[in-house]
Amino acid sequence: MIKKFIRKILGVKAPRNTDEPEVLGPEQHGIDPKMVSSNAVRVTSTLQEAGFEAFVVGGAVRDLLLGVKPKDFDIATNATPEQVKRLFRRAFIIGRRFQIVHVMFGQDLLEVTTFRGTTTDNAPKDEHGRVLRDNTFGSQAEDAERRDFTINAMYYNPATQQVLDYHGGMRDIRAKTLRIIGQPEARYREDPVRMLRVVRFAAKLKFDIEPTTAAPISVMAPLINNVPAARVFDEMLKLLMSGSALACLQQLRKAGLHHGLLPLLDVVLEQPLGFKFVTLALEATDKRIAAGKTVSPGFLFASLLWHQVLEKWNAYQAAGEFPIPALHLAADEVLESQTEKLALQRKIGSDMRDIWAMQPRFERRNGKNPYKLLEHLRFRAGFDFLLLRCASGEIDPELGNWWSAFYEADETVRAEMVSAVSGTGTGTGSKRKRPPRRGTRHGEEAEASTEQGDEGADYEGEEVHADAESSPAPRKRRRGPRRKRNGEGGAAAPADVPTVD
Ligand code: ATP
Ligand code: MG
């Protein structure tokens, strides 16, 4: 009573009682029930009919309140994972850190989570305070307190069409504010990924980060380095595929979070050409997502890291390596350093390599070369990448224009185009003339070409150019570095270069 009186005099609002939710009816929240997926309703009603509580929760409620169609629906319940599993035909318990249930309807996957408890005091943590494992169930109020931001801690019951709001999420949605629940430093320490999440939501939703939520980020940013690489990768991918990748990256820079996430990304962004390239790539990605098209993670990461590859590619060539092996060495080096930090999946890594490896092949426009390249499984990705290189000013736009025309043209026009460039000598990717082949080639190279198809052919092509330049010196130059690399694990030896086609 006295407290209430003093607050009234001072004009201070009472802290919210976060044990009891504010209950909002349809006229207050304005959610359109038609936007709620029928499978989400199936899950909540099945659980409710079995006597449990069940709600749509988290990002889906946030998006529904913003009038955006949620891309997935998460369900929260007081049923245990075992109890959930028994109610659905295709349900799987997954997760070690915290068990959740995946309920499948055809291709649609819904995540059902049991309300989580708040007591992380006894949960195992790493030396920086990051919670490693915790499997305690709790009440709905506790579950709300465990969530990251106020706008992500609301529960929607499709049966009653009510929203339960424990932390003033509705107020923050209206004010376009991102506010962390609880004490910001403690929450970032428990899980540093929340710093990446706040940046993503701010950029994607065009919300402001409330000052006390934002304040610790620049100081606490290095804690991201202790997070397992696979989680950082998942979060980075979400960020890049959010439809606001460019805004996210700018926000990451502003928050000082880009250091250490993609090593050297800060350096890349500071080089005018690298910056332009990344900007164009992310703009194109955002446009594709807005148009409902798919985006390949391999293309995205290949773009983000291209200028690092380029720098190393140039350095290897300056040191006497031939262009194709130099490119593979550069790719190996960049991929190795990124794998450590980002846990790039094998498939993504091989897509990136393919896109990079295709680039010099675009310069070979003579003979069968352009036709072979067109048949490449990932030609489209490599071609889009080439166009980005042209648009960023890295290479002559003439090459991109030629390929665009070649791609569209019919067989007769294609043949004319090839003979035109072959005639001028611009189609070989080198100003040097290709010498006629004489006698049997070195056994080593012959082996390389049979093992690698087109890629081997590229490799040979370089060899021929080099011989033409000043025989026999280049051969000596080539043997040195190659033998050395084999000794170090053979990173770029022909047998280790992945087959492109
Ligand atoms: P998106 O639209 O990207 O899916 P989201 O908010 O749904 O956004 P999810 O990763 O799907 O993000 O998480 C679902 C919900 O789980 C969040 O809304 C939030 O309530 C909670 N959550 C997710 N990650 C964390 C975290 N690191 N700390 C606390 N709560 C989290
Ligand atoms: Mg989600």
Label each residue of 205-269 as H, E or C: HCCEECHHHHCCHHHHHHHHHHCCHHHHHHHHHHHHCCCCHHHHHHHHHHHCCCCCCCCCHHHHH
pLDDT confidence bin for 259, thresholds 50/70/90:
low
Query: Does ligand 1 come within 6 angstroms of the Cβ of 145?
Result: no
pLDDT confidence bin for 2, thresholds 50/70/90:
low
Active site residue 148: yes
Regarding whether 484 and 350 lie in a shared domain, the answer is yes
Cα 37 to middle of ligand 2, angstroms: 13
The pLDDT of residue 472 is above 70? no
Regarding whether 465 and 326 lie in a shared domain, the answer is yes
Minimum mean pLDDT among 9-13, 32-36, 46-50, 405-409: which range?
9-13
Give the whole-angstrom CA distance, residue 33 versus residue 30: 9
The larger pLDDT score, comparing residue 18 to residue 20, is at 20
Work out whether strand 74-77 and strand 108-114 pair parallel, antiparallel, or are unpaired.
parallel
Work out whether strand 108-114 and strand 162-165 pair parallel, antiparallel, or are unpaired.
unpaired
Active site residue 72: yes
The pLDDT of residue 111 is above 70? yes
Q: Using alpha carbons, select from 189, 244, 253, 266 the residue that is nearest to residue 220.
A: 189
The pLDDT of residue 221 is above 80? yes
Highest mean pLDDT among 170-179, 215-224, 277-286: 170-179
- pLDDT reported for residue 183: 97
Minimum mean pLDDT among 261-270, 320-329, 349-358: which range?
261-270
Query: Does ligand 1 come within 6 angstroms of the Cβ of 147?
Result: yes
Beta-carbon neighbours within 5 Å of ion ligand 2: 59
- pLDDT reported for residue 226: 86
Query: Does ligand 1 come within 6 angstroms of the Cβ of 58?
Result: yes
- pLDDT reported for residue 424: 64
Cα 430 to middle of ligand 2, angstroms: 50
Contacts of 378 (CB under 8 A, 6+ apart): 351, 354, 355, 358
Cα 61 to middle of ligand 2, angstroms: 10
- pLDDT reported for residue 142: 94
Q: Which residue minimizes the CA distance to atom 27 of ligand 1?
A: 194
- pLDDT reported for residue 98: 79
Angle at 197 between CA 220 and CA 23, to 5 degrees: 115
- pLDDT reported for residue 457: 30
pLDDT confidence bin for 446, thresholds 50/70/90:
very low
pLDDT confidence bin for 227, thresholds 50/70/90:
confident
CB 240 within 8 A of CB 299: no
Give the CATH number, domain containing residue 447: 1.10.3090.10
Give the whole-angstrom CA distance, residue 232 versus residue 342: 6
Minimum mean pLDDT among 106-120, 292-306, 459-473: which range?
459-473
- pLDDT reported for residue 3: 52
| The 3-state secondary structure of 159-207, one letter per residue | CCCEEEECCCHHHHHHCCEECECCCHHHHHHHCCHHHHHHHHHHHHHCC
In a domain, 8, yes or no: no
pLDDT confidence bin for 365, thresholds 50/70/90:
very high
Regarding whether 308 and 169 lie in a shared domain, the answer is no
In a domain, 241, yes or no: no
Print the domain residue range for 332.
297-496
Give the CATH number, domain containing residue 162: 3.30.460.10
- pLDDT reported for residue 308: 86
Domain boundary among 175, 208, 238: 175
Give the whole-angstrom CA distance, residue 134 versus residue 123: 6
Q: Count the Cβ atoms, other than its own, within 10 Å of residue 346.
A: 8
Q: Which residue minimizes the CA distance to atom 30 of ligand 1?
A: 147
Q: Which residue minimizes the CA distance to atom 5 of ligand 1?
A: 59
In a domain, 400, yes or no: yes
Q: Which residue minimizes the CA distance to atom 6 of ligand 1?
A: 59
Angle at 351 between CA 341 and CA 287, to 5 degrees: 90
Active site residue 286: no
Domain boundary among 143, 175, 207: 175
- pLDDT reported for residue 442: 35
In a domain, 198, yes or no: no
Query: Does ligand 1 come within 6 angstroms of the Cβ of 194?
Result: yes
Regarding whether 469 and 331 lie in a shared domain, the answer is yes
In a domain, 199, yes or no: no
Q: Using alpha carbons, select from 157, 153, 145, 194 the residue that is nearest to residue 171.
A: 153
Q: Using alpha carbons, select from 308, 303, 313, 425 the residue that is nearest to residue 363.
A: 425
In a domain, 266, yes or no: no
pLDDT confidence bin for 85, thresholds 50/70/90:
very high
Regarding whether 306 and 158 lie in a shared domain, the answer is no
Query: For 427-431, what is the mean pLDDT?
Result: 51
In a domain, 41, yes or no: yes
Residue of 19, 32, 63, 74 marked active site: 74
Which amino acid is residue 176, in one-letter code? Answer: K
- pLDDT reported for residue 337: 80
CA dihedral 314, 319, 321, 326 (to 10 degrees): -30
Query: For 128-156, what is the mean pLDDT?
Result: 89
Query: Does ligand 1 come within 6 angstroms of the Cβ of 134?
Result: no
| The 3-state secondary structure of 43-94, one letter per residue | HHHHHHHCCCCEEEECHHHHHHHCCCCCCCCEEEECCCHHHHHHHCCCEEEE
In a domain, 285, yes or no: no
Give the whole-angstrom CA distance, residue 136 versus residue 115: 9
Task: Provide the domain count of the chain.
Answer: 2
Q: Count the Cβ atoms, other than its own, within 10 Å of residue 106.
A: 7
Domain boundary among 175, 202, 221: 175
Query: For 478-491, what is the mean pLDDT?
Result: 31
Give the whole-angstrom CA distance, residue 150 versus residue 189: 18
Query: Does ligand 1 come within 6 angstroms of the Cβ of 193?
Result: yes
Highest mean pLDDT among 99-108, 130-139, 423-432, 448-457: 99-108
Cα 84 to middle of ligand 2, angstroms: 19
Residue of 63, 143, 148, 351 marked active site: 148
Beta bridge partners of 45: none
- pLDDT reported for residue 235: 86
CA distances from 412 to 398, 409, 415, 418 (A): 21, 8, 5, 10
Residue 153 alpha carbon, nearest atom of ligand 1: 20
Query: For 405-416, what is the mean pLDDT?
Result: 95
Cα 73 to middle of ligand 2, angstroms: 6
Beta bridge partners of 92: 102
The pLDDT of residue 389 is above 70? yes
Regarding whether 305 and 162 lie in a shared domain, the answer is no
- pLDDT reported for residue 423: 67
- pLDDT reported for residue 265: 60
How much of the chain, in percent, has pLDDT values that exceed 70? Answer: 76
Q: Which residue minimizes the CA distance to atom 2 of ligand 1?
A: 59
